[in-house]
Amino acid sequence: MIRIGVLVSGSGSNLQSIMDACAAGEIDGTVVMVISNVEGVYALERAERGGIPSRVISHADYPDREAFDAELAKALLECRVDLVCLAGFMRVLTPSFLRTFPGRVMNIHPALLPSFPGLHVRQKAIDYGVRFSGCTVHFVDEGVDTGPIIIQAVVPVYPQDTEEELKERILRLEHRIYPKAIGLFSQGRLSIDGRRVVVRGLAKDETACLINPPLGL
Ligand code: GAR
């Protein structure tokens, strides 16, 4: 049973999917703390409804990133977390924070990394004209959205998509793959080998593919 700390900055729909997966037994673990760097966000209400302790630690109250991250790390260590999950947490963590939880910080990003790291990535995918985008769960390293990839999901992108439409299409898959990644971690089935994450029990499927526009068009 792993102890999970979740960092949020917004609506917390990914937090919800993680809490639900814990309750359903799909993750062998429990969310023991939710920390938001922004007051009044809906994620905090979700935590309260789920009976999970939460705190606001506002980056604006600290002189620099080191001091803010030190406070975050302290709060998470006090809760004895085994895994830190960033779920719409819009801050970049310092190397000293990451050294406190080596190989134990995950993030979800709404694009197919390494394409479109950073911000406003759904609009960037539409503007670029890619045929597919998706979402990525990865371990966090010292770069921005550069860490070893655990799981990805793919959706088609259409030239007429609005940013909101693509966001919703991707978000539906985020809610499926983030709990899956955490579930695999909780079962001890993930190991990091340099840039690569080895998933124990993963078999190849030489026939799997996606084509957009479809060949039958
Ligand atoms: C999600 O789409 C997540 O992938 C993204 O923020 C959204 C949070 O939604 N994260 C990032 O862009 C991280 N750079 P949520 O608060 O409803 O989970």
Torsion angle, CA of 207/210/215/217, rounded to 10 degrees?
150
Please give the distance, rounded to the nearest whole angstrom, from the Cα atom of residue 3 to the centre of ligand 1: 22
Assess whether 109 carries a catalytic annotation. Answer: yes
Token couple for 58: 């506002």
The residue type found at 212 is N
Q: How many residues does the chain have?
A: 217
* Measured distance CA(67)–CA(44) in Å, rounded: 23
The reported pLDDT for the residue numbered 31 is 98
Q: Which residues contact 38 (CB under 8 A, 6 or more apart)?
A: 9, 10, 56, 58
Decide: 50 and 4 in contact? Cβ < 8 Å. no
* Measured distance CA(47)–CA(74) in Å, rounded: 20
174 lines ligand 1 (CB under 6 A): yes
Place of tokens 């790291």: 117
- Give the model confidence (pLDDT) of 95-153 as tens digits: 999 999 999 999 999 999 999 999 999 999 999 999 999 999 999 999 999 999 999 99
* Measured distance CA(28)–CA(40) in Å, rounded: 30
The reported pLDDT for the residue numbered 203 is 97
The reported pLDDT for the residue numbered 159 is 96
The reported pLDDT for the residue numbered 5 is 99
Domains of the chain: 2-199 (3.40.50.170)
14 lines ligand 1 (CB under 6 A): yes
The reported pLDDT for the residue numbered 209 is 97
Count CB-CB contacts under 10 A for residue 63: 7
Low-confidence ranges of the chain (pLDDT < 70): none
The reported pLDDT for the residue numbered 22 is 98
The percent of residues above 70 in pLDDT, for the chain, comes to 100
Count CB-CB contacts under 10 A for residue 71: 17
Q: Work out which ligand 1 atom sits closest to the CA atom of 15.
A: 18
13 lines ligand 1 (CB under 6 A): yes
* Measured distance CA(95)–CA(110) in Å, rounded: 23
pTM check: above 0.95:
yes
Please give the distance, rounded to the nearest whole angstrom, from the Cα atom of residue 216 to the centre of ligand 1: 34
The reported pLDDT for the residue numbered 210 is 97
Please give the distance, rounded to the nearest whole angstrom, from the Cα atom of residue 44 to the centre of ligand 1: 15
Q: Work out which ligand 1 atom sits closest to the CA atom of 167.
A: 2
Nearest protein Cα to ligand 1, atom 17:
13
